């Protein structure tokens, strides 16, 4: 054992572990390979970008992913449906409630109990999902402001996000990874006084969002950095399968809460904001950021209406059991099922294949919005400046847990 060689140095090791698309000998005159990430804070996680530059101009961008592989799909093939939910949380860990909602809906639809879920459970799901949407957008807006030099925005957004995390921790016991929305119901009903405290927070938040718009979104420096930068034409967005605020920023009013009308969203009145090219071209970085801010206002409207239902028509009582419809054994009939939902970053979907004999799926494929949206980065950044690449990455709003799954 003493003579055993544990490691042999080889000059090829680095190239094999970090493969490049381009080789230095293939570059044209004045071109250069620049690596951005995976440790760079503006790549929003462990994302490595292989950038070919000609001076300051970007020739091509190649994203390298896989540094944060979660093995979600392999976990899902080896665990019962209900035990997979904690792993769902860890994909888009900034919007775990939204992902849980999509996964639970999928299994409920396979079991045929989707229409039997109590109304109070559905409204609670909507409240926590929209709170999590706000928290996710706050990270996107705050970190994006910091990427472009507006550090104040980051402090403001983290301050207000903390209120949301405390509300969700009060309801579920966890700050970010909740395991709160269960198949057929909820882990527990909302704590006594949650509805009133949540309404207080919503009323506090409205002027804060207005302040954010005035100080950051309409700021001349911010507009100069984002308007006419990273323009995404609508036809290109559709062809790439882009969803969420990125697609709506290009002018298409497509929101799965309206299109698929899942849960109790059809009973709630809210608008779907779309980009209009107010400060530059339609579908630029400014439009995408503006859409996220407007979605925060719409989430507040949804929460207010859901809270009204939870304090009046579907008020809590001693007999209410949030686990009443939670099945003891989850064994769907043999089938294939794809279910999708509108997450803060776009369409999150789960494709299930059940054999009818087991409570473990044969296959569970996750469709992460961040993974699909990231694929268009070369089209957005090509021909721009290196500084504009940072603005483009932030406007996509990715989370690497969902990219790598």
The two tokens of residue 3 are 């003579």
Q: Is 58 part of a structural domain of the chain? A: no
Task: Write the CB contacts of 296 (distance below 8 Å, at least 6 apart in sequence).
Answer: 134, 137, 138, 209
Neighbour tally for 325: CB within 10 Å: 17
pLDDT in tens, 279-319: 889 999 999 999 999 999 999 999 999 999 999 889 988 88
Burial bucket for residue 342 (CB in 10 Å: 0-12, 13-18, 19+)? buried
pLDDT in tens, 329-362: 899 999 999 999 999 999 999 999 999 899 999 9
With beta carbons less than 8 A apart as the criterion, state whether 106 and 363 touch. Answer: no
pLDDT in tens, 8-57: 777 777 777 777 888 888 888 888 988 887 887 778 888 899 999 998 89
With beta carbons less than 8 A apart as the criterion, state whether 244 and 92 touch. Answer: no
Q: Is 397 part of a structural domain of the chain? A: no
Distance CA 213, CA 190 (A): 32
Q: Please state the three-class secondary structure of the chain as a single string.
A: CCCCCCCCCCCCHHHHHCCCCCCHHHCCCCEEEEEECCCCHHHCCCCEEEEEEECCEEEEEEEECCCCCCCHHHHHCCCCHHHHHHHHHCCCCCCHHHHHHHHHHHHHHHHCCHHHCCHHHHHHHHHHHHHHHHHHHHHHHHHHHHHCCCHHHHHHHHHHHHHHHHHHHHHHCCCCCCCCEECCEECCCCCCCHHHHHHHHHHHHHHHHHHHHHHHHCCHHHHHHHCCCCCCCHHHHHHHCCCCHHHHHCCCCCCHHHHCCCCCHHHCCCCCCCCCCCCCCCCCHHHHHHHHHHHHHHHHHHHHHHHHHHHCCCCCCCCCCCCCCCCCCCCCCCEEEEEEEEECCEEEEEEEEECCCCCCCCEEEEECHHHHHHCCHHHHHCCCEHHHHHHHHHHHCCCHHHHHC
With beta carbons less than 8 A apart as the criterion, state whether 368 and 95 touch. Answer: no
Q: Is 318 part of a structural domain of the chain? A: yes
The two tokens of residue 111 are 């079991």
Confidence tier at 366 by pLDDT (50, 70, 90): very high
pLDDT in tens, 310-322: 998 899 888 888 9
Distance CA 211, CA 158 (A): 15
Residue 1 has pLDDT above 60, yes or no: no
Q: Is 50 part of a structural domain of the chain? A: no
Query: Which pLDDT value is given to residue 2?
Result: 59
Query: Which pLDDT value is given to residue 318?
Result: 86
The two tokens of residue 348 are 């999150």
Q: What average pLDDT does range 219-228 have in this prediction?
A: 92
Q: What average pLDDT does range 380-401 have in this prediction?
A: 91
Q: What average pLDDT does range 375-388 have in this prediction?
A: 92
Tell me which of 197 and 150 has the higher pLDDT. 197
- Least confident among 118-122, 174-178, 361-365, 401-405: 401-405
pLDDT in tens, 73-90: 999 999 999 999 999 999
Q: What average pLDDT does range 112-121 have in this prediction?
A: 92
pLDDT, the chain, mean: 91
The two tokens of residue 404 are 């790598």
Q: Is 105 part of a structural domain of the chain? A: yes
Q: What is the dihedral of CA 7, 8, 13, 16, to 10 degrees?
A: -80
Distance CA 369, CA 397 (A): 10
Q: What average pLDDT does range 106-133 have in this prediction?
A: 94
Q: Is 265 part of a structural domain of the chain? A: yes
Q: Is 26 part of a structural domain of the chain? A: no
Query: Which pLDDT value is given to residue 370?
Result: 93
Confidence tier at 6 by pLDDT (50, 70, 90): confident
Burial bucket for residue 308 (CB in 10 Å: 0-12, 13-18, 19+)? middle
Neighbour tally for 259: CB within 10 Å: 13
What whole-number percentage of the chain has pLDDT above 90? 71
What whole-number percentage of the chain has pLDDT above 70? 99
CATH number where 234 lies: 1.10.645.10
Domain limits at 345?
72-381
Query: Which pLDDT value is given to residue 150?
Result: 85
Q: What average pLDDT does range 210-239 have in this prediction?
A: 92
Distance CA 400, CA 378 (A): 18
The two tokens of residue 98 are 């939204």
How many structural domains comprise the chain?
1
Q: Is 330 part of a structural domain of the chain? A: yes
């Amino acid at each position: 054992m003493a003579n055993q060689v544990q490691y042999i140095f080889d000059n090829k090791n680095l190239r094999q572990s970090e493969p490049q698309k381009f080789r230095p000998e293939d570059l044209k005159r004045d071109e250069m390979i620049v690596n951005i990430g995976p440790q760079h804070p503006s790549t929003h996680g462990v994302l490595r970008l292989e950038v070919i530059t000609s001076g300051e101009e970007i020739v091509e961008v190649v994203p390298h992913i896989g540094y944060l592989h979660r093995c979600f799909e392999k976990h899902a093939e080896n665990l019962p449906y209900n035990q997979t939910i904690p792993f769902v949380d860890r994909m888009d860990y900034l919007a775990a409630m939204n992902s849980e909602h999509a996964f639970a809906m999928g299994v409920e639809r396979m079991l045929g109990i989707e229409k039997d879920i109590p109304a109070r459970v559905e409204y609670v799901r909507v409240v926590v999902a929209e709170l999590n949407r706000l928290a996710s957008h706050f990270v996107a807006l705050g970190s994006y402001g910091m990427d472009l030099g507006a550090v104040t925005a980051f402090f403001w957004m983290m301050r207000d996000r903390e209120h949301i995390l405390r509300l969700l921790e009060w309801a579920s016991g966890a700050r970010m990874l909740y395991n709160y929305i269960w198949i057929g119901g909820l882990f527990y009903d909302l704590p006594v006084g949650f509805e009133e405290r949540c309404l207080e927070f919503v009323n506090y938040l409205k002027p804060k969002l207005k302040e954010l718009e005035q100080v950051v979104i309409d700021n001349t420096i911010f507009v100069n950095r984002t308007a006419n930068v990273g323009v995404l034409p609508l036809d290109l967005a559709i062809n790439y399968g882009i969803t969420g605020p990125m697609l709506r920023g290009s002018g298409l009013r497509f929101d799965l809460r309206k299109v698929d009308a899942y849960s109790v969203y059809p009973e709630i009145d809210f608008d779907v904001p779309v980009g209009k090219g107010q400060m530059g071209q339609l579908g630029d970085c400014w439009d995408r950021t503006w859409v996220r801010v407007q979605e925060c206002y719409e989430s507040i409207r949804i929460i207010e209406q859901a809270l009204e239902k939870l304090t009046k028509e579907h008020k809590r009582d001693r007999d209410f059991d949030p686990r009443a419809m939670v099945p003891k054994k989850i064994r769907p009939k043999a089938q294939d099922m794809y279910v999708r939902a509108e997450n803060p970053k776009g369409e999150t979907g789960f494709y299930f294949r059940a054999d009818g004999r087991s409570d473990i799926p044969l296959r569970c494929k996750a469709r992460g919005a961040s993974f699909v949206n990231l694929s268009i980065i070369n089209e957005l950044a090509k021909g721009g400046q290196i500084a504009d690449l940072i603005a483009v990455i932030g406007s996509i709003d990715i989370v690497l847990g969902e990219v790598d799954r």
